[in-house]
Chains A and B, each alone.
Chain A
Amino acid sequence: MNRHSLTRAFSLLIRRDLILAMRHRAEMVNPLLFFILVTSLFPLGIGANPNLLQAVGPGVIWVAALLAALLSLDGVFRSDFEDGTLEQYLLSSHPVSLLVLAKVLAHWLITGLPLLLISPLLGVFLGLPPAGIRILFITLLLGTPVLSLIGAVGVALTVGLRKGGMILSLLVLPLYIPLLIFASSAVDTAAAGLSVTAHLSLIAALLVLALSLSPFATAAALRISLS
């Protein structure tokens, strides 16, 4: 019975966050718009040389994805903190780490998934070859959840601070760097026609690592922020 109510709380929390996102569409669209704008400004800035664009494309898309994620992160716990619902999670009879996982999953569905879906289009825009676009999609599929999971730890630590944005970037960006390196080099390698199994395995490993550790770290950080 207890397990049943946990799955119920888990799914209800995700659904609630999706409903809230639908009622605040602007917040949902902002990171996506940012992602599209940044990537589409690059060809204008550095000139429409196909070879050049192909060379910088994967890096540009990934950097933009990373910054878009960072932009949206603050929303994960901010409003819950302000209206007191965050306290209610900590005082619930369910494991906080699992409720946190539901929050992060909802965040990914709201900000990560649209980004993922639009990425092939931006790949075409930057003149990436089909093989590169395919791998770009896979790296984003594996990588954007990692962005949300790692970011959640940083947000949980800074949610109690009035101006936590700057500290949040300083905390989180260094942890994003390994992902950025593996992901953009995977796309480059694929575009050159070589095997990327090693890269993808490493990114998948990062995802498993973040998935298993981040909810616990986030739950602990929330306790610190609220006490």
Chain B
Amino acid sequence: MSNTGTNPFFLEARELECIRDDRTLFRNLEFRLEAGQALLLEGRNGSGKTSLLRILCGIRLPDSGMIAWCGADIQRLGADYYQHTAYVGHRDGIKLDLTPMENLAMARALGRPSEMTFEAALARVDLFGFEDVLTRNLSAGQQRRLALARLLVTDATLWILDEPFTSLDVHGIRVIEELLEAHTLRGGMLAVTSHHAVNLHRTTVHRINLSA
């Protein structure tokens, strides 16, 4: 175990290889992410950013190599790993025919609950006052922010985010960046892909360019 303050968690990728449709997306990829650090994945479309995030989630199996959480293979850990993770993928993972409150209630029940109330979580992403509106009637940016509010209602250490800034306006991007920075400053970890520049000034950011 490493000693990074109070939070001993760390995530490692060992000799990762991913092949899709006979094309090697990456090979011998290695990195180590510790508490309070962020991993930023860059690269062109189709360079394997989303595939790498799905491997980090354990949804997709790497063609060789492994992901280790505190030294143990995540495929063996299963639920012991998932209680520490939260994932917001390309698709929002929210139900359009439920209200934001109902969506957050479900998100909280599926993970390890955090202390934050639903109202507070919605307020953090600037959705205060939309508790009981059907999610279908929210704009695309608001739906995305609701998806990101899911991160706050569970007590996860590692946030895995696939293009979190999609359909957000400048203000929305700043709100979410503050959210991410606050998470790493509390000792959380981030694994993010983004086309936008991600401004995390007070966080150690590891950059991996998959097109290189």
Chain B contacts of A223 at CB under 8 A?
A: 59
A24 at the B interface (CB under 8 A): yes
Residues of B within 8 A of A93 (CB): 79, 82-83, 110-112
B93 near A87 (CB under 8 angstroms)?
yes
Instruction: Name the residue in A83, A89, A91, A95 with the highest tally of chain B Cβ atoms < 10 Å from its Cβ.
Output: A91
Question: Is B15 part of the binding interface, using a Cβ–Cβ cutoff of 8 Å?
Answer: no
Q: Is B95 an interface residue (CB 8 A)?
A: yes
B19 within 8 Å of A (CB atoms): no
Total A-B Cβ pairs within 8 A: 78
User: Among residues 142 to 168 in chain A, which have CB atoms less than 8 Å away from a CB atom of chain B?
Assistant: none
Residues of B within 8 A of A79 (CB): 95
What size tier do the contact residues of chain B reach? 20 to 34
Q: Which of A16, A23, A90 contacts B59 (CB 8 A)?
A: A90
Q: List which B74-108 residues lie within 8 A (CB) of chain A.
A: 79, 82-83, 85, 87, 89-98, 102, 105-107
By secondary structure, the A interface counts as helix
Interface members, chain B 95-146 (any A CB < 8 Å) = 95-98, 102, 105-107, 109-113
Q: Give the complex CA separation of A23 and B106 in angstroms.
A: 17
CB-CB nearest in chain A for B136:
A23
* Complex contact A20–B98 (CB within 8 A): yes
Residues of B within 8 A of A197 (CB): none
**B94–A91 touching, CB < 8 Å:** no
Distance (whole angstroms) from the CB of B149 to the closest CB of chain A = 14
- Whether A12 touches B96, Cβ cut-off 8 Å, given contacts A84-B91, A93-B110, A94-B79, is no
When C-beta atoms are compared, the residue in chain A nearest to B60 turns out to be A227
- Nearest neighbor of B134 in chain A, beta-carbon distance: A23
Q: Report which residue of A5, A23, A87, A227 has the largest number of chain B beta carbons within 10 angstroms of its beta carbon.
A: A87
Q: Which chain A residues lie closer than 8 Å to B79 at the CB level?
A: 92-95
Known pairs A12-B109, A13-B106; A91 contacts B82 (CB<8 A): yes
From known contacts A9-B110, A16-B106, A227-B59, infer whether A85 and B93 are also in contact, taking CB-CB under 8 Å. Answer: yes
Nearest-Cβ distance from residue B18 to partner chain A, whole angstroms: 12
B16 at the interface (CB under 8 A from A): no
Q: Measured between alpha carbons, how far is A12 from B178 in the docked complex, in Å?
A: 31
Residue in B60, B105, B110 whose CB lies within 8 Å of A92: B110
CB 8 Å contact bits of A167-182 with B (1 = contact, 0 = none): 0000000000000000
Q: Which residue of A lies closest to B96 (CB)?
A: A83
Q: How far is the CA of A94 from the CA of B92 in the complex (A)?
A: 20
Task: Give bound CA distance, A99 to B59, whole Å.
Answer: 17
Enumerate chain B residues within 8 angstroms of A89, measured Cβ to Cβ: 110
Interface 0/1 of A197-227, CB less than 8 Å to B:
0000000000000000000000000010011
Looking across the interface, which residue of chain A has its beta carbon closest to that of B112?
A: A93
Check A9 against B109 for contact (C-beta < 8 Å). Answer: yes
Answer yes or no: B57 CB below 8 A from chain A CBs: yes
Chain A, residues 8-42, CB within 8 Å of chain B (1/0): the string is 11001100100110011000000000000000000
B interface vs A, CB < 8 Å?
Answer: 54, 57-61, 79, 82-83, 85, 87, 89-98, 102, 105-107, 109-113
